[in-house]
């Protein structure tokens, strides 16, 4: 029992024993003196003894207080920080020795130990880094493939939890609240098609049929996004364990098949309409033809009527064929890939295609601009036109200019000379552009782009071939496309071995899914009308920060932001004027934090703002909550500093420059602090969420008691 007592309690008991022992000895000495002197000295001895005993107790208490303040507390702080340094595995952690100034060489020695440990860790990390450089290079190659792969890639365990996704999955399935490591796959896609495909291929593996099956351990799958927005098509493939004896998970590759499937259905409908629509006029024409050619010699009036029927049906048939041909061309055209591209890029590619004609100079003229086209086929067509123009006119220089005008971008091939007649370039349109592409011609490219070309004079001595194309779909100048993370850091293969979790309280801290969040507000009093102006969060999974899974929104508070608050977080009324209000933002944050532990620094403050909005948004923030202030108090004692700045300095964590007191920067640093606290908590026996909640409750009780004094 005594082994579990804290150092301060033991020292207090030691001084109490010294005081009480001294008082007992003092009283014994006075009794002995009274026996020798006689009864007449008893009142004097009692008075002197009382004063001396009280003085002894006061002196003992005073010395204990000094010892506690200058020795016991600093020793506990040093031990806590040494533990944190040892367990947090940070090479940048710094040991504060300010309060250990009366401990002699102990403070500098502890700081030296921490520095030496940091140096040893740095050396060890360098050795480890050198040893795994080759692995990291292979990992980087894999990440580059995943990042640039234009198919959505998801790897899941058998509980259908996501353990890897690439940038295309993030783009296709949702950047905000839905996709995330450890989160259910079936929040993103419809469940039954994927389950059916998984059951099929698992049964194939169990029966051993995969060894001879042409698809081995994969199967085609068609599903949809949960909101029904997209139809997805791809393959599901099993992941086996190292021995190849058991299924560990599966890989799901998907692409957007909404338009191709719709086009296929439209073609089927078109074919059905063609068969049904052509049957009647064809039968009428056949019947009329049989009557006229059957030797029945109808009279002139009947013959005229039959000729009229045949003419009318022929015209009906011609109109229907024209309409069906047009509809078919629309479907055929719609299957081509169209992308935004710059004019300079088109010129550079066309120049490469004409590398075998060194005598022809191809130059870009005018300013660059963006346009929308199938760049491959357009480049091939421009290269063909340049070859033919050079061959027909003998010119050695052709300029390509792109000019936005009237809802089009006019791509002009300009040369010195006279315009070409239509009969001159008409044959070019029917020549195949590239071998192996089913005879693709320039006319096909024009049809695909719904455009045409013509030649005209430009100035007194120049001519051009003009090609109108569509402008770019996106605004690449004033509103550049938002960037996805440069590499897919969103993976965690430890989830591959994870099985269905029991009670959440029993989940180890190292396996928790957390959302660490922070708010910036108009003031400090939520119950008095202060409102949130910014909320941000970042996910922590399996003890590491998933920086690619973040939430960061400004909120219109519906009231003015005091200047004093703006001085702290830098958010002004103008910055939130066009932002959504809490009714729109907080449900999205609730989705982002679903099934996770909420973590904050001084959590009651931030959580109060959320709880006051539960009635407004119709949702409850009933997640388990951890507070890094309370966890720090448990580890380092209530006498240490537990501000976010102090914890960040203790663990060697830096704030992004100029972003202190922004919600996302504070949430990110709090997340890093949490990851440093978890191994220290584990070393102190706090291993599960339930343990962490219990010690947090103890810390709350202690702080409440301290507040009374």
Positions marked active-site: 661
Nearest in space to 378 (alpha carbons), one of 327, 336, 418, 420:
336
- Paired tokens of 625: 């909550």
User: Could you tell me whether strands 397-405 and 408-416 are parallel, antiparallel, or unpaired per DSSP bridges?
Assistant: antiparallel
How far apart CA 286 and CA 267 sit, in angstroms, is 27
C-alpha to C-alpha distances, 128 to 132, 135, 650, nearest whole angstrom: 6, 11, 25
Question: Under DSSP, is residue 240 helix (H, G, I), strand (E, B) or coil?
Answer: strand
3-class SS at 656?
coil
Rounded distance between C-alpha atoms, residue 508 and residue 546, angstroms: 18
Helices 7-37 & 42-67 angle (0-180, nearest 10): 160
Q: How far, CA to CA in Å, does 378 sit from each of 188, 292, 386?
A: 37, 53, 12
Q: How far apart are CA 617 and CA 469, in angstroms?
A: 47
> What span, in angstroms and rounded, lies between the C-alpha atoms of 537 and 425?
61
Sign of torsion, CA 300 305 308 309?
negative
Distance CA 303, CA 140 (A): 82
The sign one gets for the Cα dihedral 418, 423, 424, 430 is positive
Greatest C-alpha distance within the chain: 169
The phi, psi pair for 616, rounded to 5°, reads -70, -40
Element (H, E) at 530: none
Other C-beta atoms lying within 10 Å of the C-beta of residue 135: 9
């Amino acid at each position: 029992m005594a082994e579990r007592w804290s150092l301060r309690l033991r020292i207090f008991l030691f001084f109490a024993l010294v005081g009480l022992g001294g008082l007992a000895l003092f009283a014994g000495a006075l009794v002995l003196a009274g026996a020798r002197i006689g009864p007449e000295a008893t009142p004097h001895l009692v008075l002197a003894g009382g004063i001396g005993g009280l003085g002894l107790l006061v002196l003992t208490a005073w010395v204990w207080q000094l010892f506690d303040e200058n020795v016991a507390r600093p020793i506990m702080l040093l031990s806590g920080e040494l533990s944190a340094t040892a367990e947090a595995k940070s090479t940048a952690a710094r040991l504060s020795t300010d309060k250990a100034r009366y401990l002699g060489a102990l403070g500098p020695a502890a700081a030296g130990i921490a520095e030496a440990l940091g140096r040893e860790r740095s050396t060890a990390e360098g050795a480890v880094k050198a040893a795994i450089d080759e692995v990291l290079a292979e990992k980087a190659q894999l990440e580059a493939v995943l990042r640039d792969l234009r198919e959505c890639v998801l790897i899941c365990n058998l509980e259908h939890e996501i353990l890897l996704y690439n940038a295309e999955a993030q783009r296709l399935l949702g950047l905000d609240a839905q996709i995330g490591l450890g989160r259910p796959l079936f929040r993103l896609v419809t469940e039954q098609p994927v389950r059916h495909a998984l059951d099929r291929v698992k049964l194939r593996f169990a029966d051993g049929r995969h060894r001879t099956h042409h698809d081995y351990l994969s199967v085609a799958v068609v599903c949809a996004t949960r909101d029904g927005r997209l139809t997805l098509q791809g393959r599901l493939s099993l992941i086996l364990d190292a021995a190849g004896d058991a299924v560990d998970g599966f890989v799901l590759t998907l692409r957007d098949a909404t338009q191709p499937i719709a086009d296929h259905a439209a073609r089927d409908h078109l074919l059905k309409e063609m068969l049904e629509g052509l049957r009647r006029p064809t039968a009428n024409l056949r019947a009329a033809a049989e009557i006229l050619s059957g030797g029945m010699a109808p009279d002139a009036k009947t013959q005229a009527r039959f000729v009229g029927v045949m003419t009318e049906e022929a015209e009906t048939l011609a109109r229907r064929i024209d309409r069906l041909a047009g509809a078919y061309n629309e479907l055929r055209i719609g299957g081509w890939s169209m992308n935004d591209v710059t004019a300079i890029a088109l010129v550079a590619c066309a120049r490469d295609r004409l590398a075998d004609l060194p005598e022809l100079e191809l130059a870009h003229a005018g300013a660059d601009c963006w346009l929308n086209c199938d760049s491959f086929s357009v480049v091939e067509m421009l290269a063909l036109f340049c070859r033919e123009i050079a061959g027909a006119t003998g010119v050695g220089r052709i300029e390509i200019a792109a000019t936005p005008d009237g809802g089009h971008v006019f791509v002009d091939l300009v040369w010195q000379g006279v315009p070409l007649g239509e009969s001159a370039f008409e044959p070019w349109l029917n020549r195949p552009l590239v071998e192996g592409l089913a005879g693709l011609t320039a006319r096909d490219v024009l049809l695909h782009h719904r455009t045409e070309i013509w030649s005209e004079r430009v100035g007194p001595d120049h001519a051009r071939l003009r090609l109108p194309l569509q402008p770019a779909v996106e605004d690449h100048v004033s509103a550049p496309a938002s960037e996805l993370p440069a590499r897919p850091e969103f993976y965690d293969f430890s989830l591959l071995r994870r099985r269905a979790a029991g009670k959440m309280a029993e989940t180890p801290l190292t396996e928790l899914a957390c959302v660490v969040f922070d708010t910036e507000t108009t003031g400090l009093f939520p119950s008095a009308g202060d409102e949130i102006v910014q909320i941000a969060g970042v996910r922590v999974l399996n003890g590491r920060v998933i920086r690619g899974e973040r939430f960061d929104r400004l909120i219109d508070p519906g009231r003015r932001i005091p200047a004093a608050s703006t001085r702290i977080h830098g958010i002004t009324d103008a910055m939130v004027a066009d932002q959504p209000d809490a009714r729109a933002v907080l449900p999205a944050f609730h989705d982002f934090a679903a099934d996770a532990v909420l973590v904050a620094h001084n959590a009651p403050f931030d959580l109060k703002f959320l709880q006051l909005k539960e009635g407004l948004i119709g949702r409850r923030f009933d997640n388990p909550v951890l507070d890094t202030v309370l966890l720090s108090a448990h580890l380092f004692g209530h006498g240490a500093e537990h501000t976010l700045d102090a914890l960040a300095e203790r663990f060697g964590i830096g704030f992004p420059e100029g972003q202190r007191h922004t919600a996302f920067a504070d949430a990110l640093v709090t997340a890093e602090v949490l990851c440093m606290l978890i191994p220290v908590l584990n070393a102190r026996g706090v291993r599960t969420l339930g343990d962490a909640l219990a010690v947090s409750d103890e810390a709350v009780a202690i702080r409440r008691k301290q507040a009374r004094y």
